[in-house]
Structure 1
Amino acid sequence: MKLRAILVIAAAALLPAASQAAEKVNLLLNWVPTADHSPYYYAKAQGWYEKAGLDVSIETGRGSGVSAQRVGAGNTQFAIADMATALVAKSKGADLVAVMAVYANSPQGFYWLKSSGITGPKDFPGKKIGNPPGDASRVMWPAFAKQVGIAPDSVTFVNVTPQAKVASLKSHAIDITSDFYNEHDLKVREFGPDLGFVAWRDIGINPYGNAIIVNGGYLKKNRAVVENFVKISQKAFAACVADIGPCLKALMASVSGLDEANQRDQWNRIKELMTDPTTTSVALGAFNAERMKADYTMVKAYFGMEKDFDIAKTYTNDFLDPSIKMTK
């Protein structure tokens, strides 16, 4: 029996590292799972995280604010959060670092009906803009107004839930609404050629959108884990850019109630948001230093910060594979 026990121990010592207990990590999403989260589900379905020794759980989110707070407090290792929200959380003491840009472009935009007489932002004065009270576009409205040359107090904001935006616009309860570009095609189908739209990025306001963030303390102690997670996620995004079909299949196998055609439309818009000169030349998911400095200045001006910090230490491209670039 002793000899048998010795042989079992020796055999176990010879097993590959992949068979050892996987590192459990949690990814908290910014919201309910949709097309922009499909790469993580695809990577799980392909077993890529598992092969790298990672046991990844994906948790439905409740907004970027919650994601930033939980990562910052060390209650979850990874999360998806809007960068402006993450920077505000950082100023309040949240220990977080952004390790991959998902939306290299701002998804913010304004929608209206051309039949209302609005031809563009110059016609916004005197109109009603409907969105939720805490909507980021309300906070940043002074920056938008200044950029297009209208008075910040020239519009009236009306409280509208996210689910009621289209109906409120259709019933003329509001004249304009803000929304993320992901849902652009739903509005195109609803309003057709009567739909008016302006993207914030097209008028020169283009802060980074969603990004993968990690707890700073966890990063210091687990650099290899973070590198594996980031590289695999980056690889998955590249695979989904090449062919979204398998990625949506993996997403919908885990998440009920999604319409595949709608998710495919969303992904096509998301690819636009992922594309900028840095992601196409440096690496898919890479941050640009000058843009991050500009975002810091903008967030400080319009969102407010409790405490200044070094923006250069709040993000990194170190874990990205430079051979993987976003297609132009």
Structure 2
Amino acid sequence: MKLSRRTMLAAGAASIAVALSACGGNGNATSAGADGGSEDVTLMLNWYPYGEHAPFYYGVEEGIFEKHGIDLTIKAGQGSTKTVQAAGQGQVDFGWADTPAVLANVDKGVAVKSLGVFLQTTPSAVQVFVDSGISSTEDLKGKTIAVSAGDAPTTTFPAFLEAAGLAESDVKQQNLDAAGKMAAMMSGKVDGLIGFAHDQGPTIASKSGKEMTYLRYADAGINFYSNGLIASNDYLAENPDLAERMMAAVSESFESAIADPEAAAKSMEGKDPQIPAQDVVLTQWNETIKLLHTDATEGKKPGVNDPADWEATIKTLSEAGLLKSAGDADKYFDSAYQPK
């Protein structure tokens, strides 16, 4: 039987297990597991580890998860859709996934809920080299941009173009996977690509030795929630106290990583062969920090969500055609686990 987290002591000396394949942290709640020790918890990332995931590694290194009674194992992901489905099928306890993928899969019957979104400003952007001659959305007319059909940045691309007075037909789109997009851009086969600016951009700049610039969707008024913590409905029903502690630990880890970006980036060093070079990781994490709040949540703990932001996200994704049977926010989000 689990005790209330308000009546438990801080976790003892249980070790934290971190899988070599990926990432996890917040909160002011401190609690151990039901037996006074830590409980085993698995977290699957949205992708292979990169700078955005620094708080998870840092939270483990600093003992934040242990303090909350969590013995964390982190697993790499291969896209948010696969992470959502793995969480829904009980293959992992928690997932870290892009909100558009969460909403689309819930609409298809995958029984998961968001506990809270951390990246509250979309990192979606058209990414180009500074020397490309593209400095505004209007400059995209007649250019070729690499996209990945079906993902949120590509699905909402027409709305981004419309905000600048362009039609979708004004820009040629070449459909490629994530690795193919970067290769095509670096080889000059496309003029730019659509994706997450805080992830791909620093990687491309490092590999090419060329400076990048970004046409950000949010700057054009096209914003929607991105990555956050999820779990299956069944898991939440069976482990409400643990879910509350997990959300608290994630939020606290983000706070700590914001306070010391260099240490947070360094905590990832050597943890997985897929992790980028340290300078790239640090740039990626610093860019992630800029995405953690909207005007409605500025000054609040990481992972605290605003109802109006949820409504705006659902509306934007519905109008883009990504959602076929959109519902109210409580169809996708359980506010019971928000950081206190």
After TM superposition, the structure 1 = structure 2 runs for residues 117-128 of structure 1, keeping only pairs within 5 Å, are: 117-128=133-144
Contact 1:100 1:287 in 2 (8 A): yes
Paired letter, 1:175: D
The equivalent residue for 2:8 is: none
Residues 44/118 of structure 1: CA separation in 2 closer, same or farther (3 Å cut): closer
The equivalent residue for 1:84 is: 100
Is residue 305 from structure 1 mapped to residue 292 from structure 2 by the alignment?
no
Largest Rg, 1 or 2: 1
Cα distance, 1:164 vs. partner? 4.2
Cα distance, 1:28 vs. partner? 0.7
Match of 2:188 among 162, 172, 181: 172
Residue deviations 1:250-301 (CA, integer Å, cap 9, x gap):
3224223531111111111011111332332333211121121121122223
Residues 239/198 of structure 1: CA separation in 2 closer, same or farther (3 Å cut): same
* C-alpha distance in 2 between matches for 1:233 and 1:244: 16
* C-alpha distance in 2 between matches for 1:135 and 1:216: 24
Secondary structure, counterpart of 1:43 in structure 2: helix
Paired letter, 2:307: A
Paired letter, 1:89: N
Is residue 269 from structure 1 mapped to residue 267 from structure 2 by the alignment?
no
The equivalent residue for 1:289 is: 307
* C-alpha distance in 2 between matches for 1:156 and 1:212: 35
Paired letter, 1:121: T
Residues 172/248 of structure 1: CA separation in 2 closer, same or farther (3 Å cut): closer
Residues 313/169 of structure 1: CA separation in 2 closer, same or farther (3 Å cut): closer
After TM superposition, the structure 1 = structure 2 runs for residues 13-162 of structure 1, keeping only pairs within 5 Å, are: 20=36, 22-113=38-129, 116-162=132-178
Paired letter, 1:223: P
Contact 2:158 2:168 in 1 (8 A): yes
Contact 2:122 2:218 in 1 (8 A): yes
RMSD: 2.6
Stretch of structure 1 that moved more, 262-271 or 247-256? 247-256
Stretch of structure 1 that moved more, 181-190 or 218-227? 181-190
Residues 121/224 of structure 1: CA separation in 2 closer, same or farther (3 Å cut): same
Secondary structure, counterpart of 2:269 in structure 1: helix
Aligned length: 307
Secondary structure, counterpart of 1:279 in structure 2: coil
Stretch of structure 1 that moved more, 89-98 or 311-320? 311-320
After TM superposition, the structure 1 = structure 2 runs for residues 2-21 of structure 1, keeping only pairs within 5 Å, are: 20=36
* C-alpha distance in 2 between matches for 1:63 and 1:259: 21
Paired letter, 2:78: R
The equivalent residue for 1:211 is: 228
| Structure 1: gaps spanning 5 or more residues | 1-14, 323-328
* C-alpha distance in 1 between matches for 2:338 and 2:325: 29
Contact 2:122 2:291 in 1 (8 A): yes
Secondary structure, counterpart of 1:282 in structure 2: coil
Report percent identity of matched pairs: 25
Is residue 236 from structure 1 mapped to residue 253 from structure 2 by the alignment?
yes
More helix by share: 1
Paired letter, 1:44: V
Cα distance, 1:226 vs. partner? 0.6
